[in-house]
Amino acid sequence: MDKKAKLQTDIERSVHKYLETIKELSVDSTILYIQRNNIPVDRDSMNKTIEVFKNSLESQQMQQLDAFMRNIEKSLNDLLKDVD
């Protein structure tokens, strides 16, 4: 694997890990907020809503990753020119 492909893979992996962390922390934070503030949401509705949120985030992540990588392509190319 050449340097550019390895760097792109590392960036994609890091972005995925970052978004997964954000997703899980957001879900945890939301559940805690609902519980602490006694918001009248039954558990089934809350779980379904959170599942929709998770699925939406994952879908958008997959749709936007290629655009993200295209946006940083020039910077990656410039960086790799300087390294060689």
* Amino acid (1-letter code) at residue 26: S
- Whole-model pTM: value is 0.73
Please check whether residue 46 is in contact with residue 31, taking contact to mean a CB–CB distance below 8 angstroms: yes
**In terms of residue numbers, what domain contains 62?**
3-83
Percent of residues in the chain assigned helix, strand, coil, to nearest 5: 90, 0, 10
78 against 53, higher pLDDT: 53
Please check whether residue 27 is in contact with residue 47, taking contact to mean a CB–CB distance below 8 angstroms: no
Write down the pLDDT at residue 80. Answer: 77
Closest CA relative to residue 69, chosen from 1, 14, 26: 14
pLDDT in tens, 64-80: 888 888 888 888 888 77
Q: What is the number of domains present in the chain?
A: 1
Q: Which two tokens mark 65?
A: 């990753």
